[in-house]
């Protein structure tokens, strides 16, 4: 039996991680969400006795500590795999280039804050809160969901100059992961930054501006992967990501890998 905790579990990739992991009744799955009444996760929990929904906000140190305490009560104080998936962006400026960011301290901080709070600060608080459980687990794995948008070579080759706060925060995540891997290696703990691919997590009908943005991104991404046809679905992303997590060892600890298990094929 393995135990997993997933933050940002109420929708998108996070919820798909929960769905696939809970499908194996041998797993104990802890879904960390800000809203316990989130319909998607509530429905899953009602159909899977091995799934436990825990309230926790990764941007609030006290809240995530309480979530770790609740998790420990369920698992007997141990955890095999922590997947820090939480993410947030300022959609209004998501496609702004760096030269378009405002000469206004407060406005600039507000643009960067959602990504930094969930990915960088939240990554530290979540990892540190659950670390005592990981230390007592069997697999001893910590995974932070990152992005190829923080890969320098990809940015250069594709010319993707927008999504600045998101990319900067993911670059910070990658460095943090490597720092954690270096510190925790003597304890046998493996830490990974994992890019899930270009995933379609939009629920409902896509607005015209998003469809247009996706077309632009596809052409840019095809500069590095000419055969790319478009986004993949959460099911494929998570299925492949779980295979990468299963193979995580001391050799790959501290790296940024794609859902394909390497750092050359991002899509």
N- to C-terminal Cα distance for the chain?
Answer: 32
Cα torsion 120, 124, 130, 133: sign: positive
Catalytic residue among 170, 190, 195, 237: 170
Active site residue 121: no
| Catalytic annotation present for 4 | no
CB atoms within 10 A of CB 99: 7
CA distance 197 to 194: 9
Choose, from 115, 166, 167, 253, the residue flagged as catalytic.
Answer: 166
Cβ atoms within 10 Å, residue 166: 22
Contact assessment for residue 134 and residue 79, using Cβ atoms and an 8 Å cutoff:
yes
Contacts 24+ apart (CB under 8 A), 182-187: 182/254, 184/131, 184/142, 185/250, 185/253, 187/135, 187/140
Classify residue 232 by its DSSP letter.
B
Q: At what angle do helices 105-115 and 164-184 cross, to 10 degrees?
A: 50
- Which residue in the list 115, 146, 147, 163 is annotated as catalytic? 147
Question: What are the residue numbers of the active site?
Answer: 147, 166, 170
């Amino acid at each position: 039996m393995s135990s997993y905790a997933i933050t940002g579990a109420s929708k998108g990739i996070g919820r798909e991680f929960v769905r696939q992991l809970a499908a194996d009744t041998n797993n104990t799955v802890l879904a960390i969400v800000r809203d316990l009444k989130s319909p998607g996760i509530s429905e899953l929990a009602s159909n899977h006795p091995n799934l436990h929904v825990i309230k926790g906000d990764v941007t609030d140190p006290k809240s995530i500590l309480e979530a770790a305490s609740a998790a420990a009560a369920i698992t007997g104080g141990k955890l095999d795999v922590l997947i820090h998936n939480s993410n947030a962006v300022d959609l209004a400026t998501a496609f702004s280039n760096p030269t378009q960011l405002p000469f206004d301290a407060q406005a600039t901080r507000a643009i960067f804050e959602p990504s930094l709070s969930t990915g960088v600060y939240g990554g530290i608080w979540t990892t540190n809160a659950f670390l005592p459980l990981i230390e007592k687990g069997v697999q001893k794995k910590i995974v932070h969901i990152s992005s190829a948008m923080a890969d320098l070579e990809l940015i250069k080759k594709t010319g993707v100059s927008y999504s600045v706060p998101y990319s900067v925060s993911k670059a910070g995540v990658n460095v943090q992961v490597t720092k954690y891997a270096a510190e925790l290696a003597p304890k046998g703990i493996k830490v990974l930054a994992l890019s899930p691919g270009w995933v379609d997590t939009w629920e409902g009908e896509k607005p015209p501006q998003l469809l247009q943005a996706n077309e632009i991104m596809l052409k840019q991404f095809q500069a590095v992967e000419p055969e790319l046809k478009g986004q993949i679905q959460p099911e494929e992303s998570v299925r492949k990501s779980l295979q990468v997590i299963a193979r995580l060892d001391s050799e790959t600890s501290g790296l940024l890998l794609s859902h394909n298990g390497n750092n050359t094929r991002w899509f």
